[in-house]
Copies of this chain bind each other. A is one copy, B any other.
Amino acid sequence: MAKMTPRTLSGFMELLPAPQQQMERIMEILRRTYSLYGFTPLDTPVIESSDVLLAKAGGETEKQIYRFQKGDSDLSLRFDLTVPLAKYVALHYNDLSFPFRRYQIGKVYRGERAQRGRFREFYQADIDIIGDGKLSIINEAEIPAIIYKTFSTLGLKRFQIRVNNRKILNGFYASLGLTEQSADVMRTVDKLDKIGPEKVKTILVEDFAIPAEKADEILRFIAISGSNEEVLSALEGYQGRSETFDAGLEELKTVVRYLADFGVPAENFAVDLSIARGLDYYTGTVYETTLLDHPEIGSVCSGGRYDNLAEFYTDRQLPGAGISIGLTRLFYVLGEQGMLNPDLPTAPADVLILPMTEDLSPAISLATALRENGIRTQLHCEDKKFKQKISYADKLHIPYVIFLGEDEINAGVVACKDLTTGEQTKLEPAATIYRIKAGLAEREKGSVILG
């Protein structure tokens, strides 16, 4: 028969078993961490009606959508988890209680140009807190705590959560009489890291006709840096010129003030006035998270406060605050950088049992006992040579192999070999289980991410 050559589409991540185990571990940590902060898991369809999903979209996003006809229906695959959340909250409003805190870890689809490290199917891991009409600033202060807890539980140490407030930016530009141009200015200033202050000034002056002195003032403002206290105190010098600015500064102070109570160390947090995050969606605190040793990766967790989650679906004002981790890309980058801890177990099983007798009953009973003790156990009863079976365990990094022969069965013991140390014991089943459990706990001790 003619064979079809198997292949996976480019831009679609398909992991081998060992890295998949690492990915599962990361997802489990995200689920647990988000739950600790009172977020409830949601799962929405991957497919939505195009008119519903694209009520807001336009431009670049729309071009990337996977959109198709099925029967009479015009369907699209979701391209993020925010629009489905807006739909969910508007649709189920009467069944929800507010503030509504949900997390969702799910695949989204964007037909981007294929290139290394860019994915067309990728996981996003989002949390959002949605208020009904109003939402306290404390939620915006809590989000850096969740980011900190998430990344530090994963094992990262050298990362920084950078925070700004859109009201501060909007208020500052308004005080310069640049409200109309503020979108252009922010987009230009966003390039500061890449093109430097000289070029930013040139663009502001030449492309957007901003007077040179105002451009200088913008650059001076954006350049404010130092400890959080130093930045806040410098910002106080700008107070009184714009109500929006003053409101934003109050919010930023509240966010900074409660950080220590939320358990965020000072070194993992910075006020950074150069962060703007997009153009019109966010209205208050905005967040980016960077790996200090890998600034080239850009932000690995971003988000902010918005005033109208679902304005395309409902007249109700539903303000919110949320963040998103681009999990597939993050996982890819961590792998590329060698930052995934290779010492954590990635085997499909903790124990491989090799029965050495015709009658398999004793081996099966032992497997059943191990599993009842929470030990992941595989019986290897295939018709293979002993050496091949050991090499199977070796290749898969299964940590323990148990041999069960006539002698052991008669003596009521099991022979158990630790493949890492080579150490072999002959103990009663209960003692063997105890030893294996202790060894497994030891092996699970490291964090998923190194650094």
Chain A residues within 8 Å of B, Cβ to Cβ: 1, 3-9, 12-17, 20-21, 23-24, 35-49, 51-52, 55, 66, 68-71, 73, 75, 86-88, 90-92, 95-97, 99, 101-102, 107, 109, 111, 121, 131, 134-136, 138-139, 142, 145, 149, 258, 261-263, 310-315, 347-349, 352, 360-361, 364-365, 367-368, 371-372, 374-383, 392, 395-396
Contact = CB atoms under 8 A, between A and B. Distances in A.
A48 B314 contact: no
Nearest to A32: B374
A111 B69 CA distance: 12
Contacts of A139: 381
20 contacts: A3-B312, A3-B315, A6-B313, A7-B52, A8-B48, A9-B49, A16-B92, A21-B41, A23-B43, A36-B371, A47-B66, A47-B121, A68-B68, A97-B392, A97-B396, A136-B381, A139-B381, A258-B361, A262-B364, A263-B372
B12 A45 contact: yes
A348 B101 contact: yes
B40 A9 contact: no
Contact of A87 (B6, B55, B121): B6
Contact of A121 (B35, B37, B45): B45
Nearest to A71: B111
A359 to B, nearest CB: 10
Nearest to A95: B16
Nearest to A362: B261
Nearest to A90: B6
B261 A364 contact: yes
Contacts of A38: 348-349, 352, 376-378
B262 A4 contact: no
B349 A313 contact: no
A251 B202 CA distance: 81
Contact of A9 (B36, B73, B121, B347): B73
Contacts of A258: 360-361, 364
Given A38-B377, A361-B261, A9 B48 contact: yes
Contacts of A16: 92, 95-96
Contacts of A121: 45-47
Nearest to A34: B376
Nearest to A315: B3
The list of the 8 closest CB pairs from A to B, nearest first, reads A38-B378, A68-B68, A40-B348, A38-B349, A261-B364, A4-B55, A12-B45, A138-B381
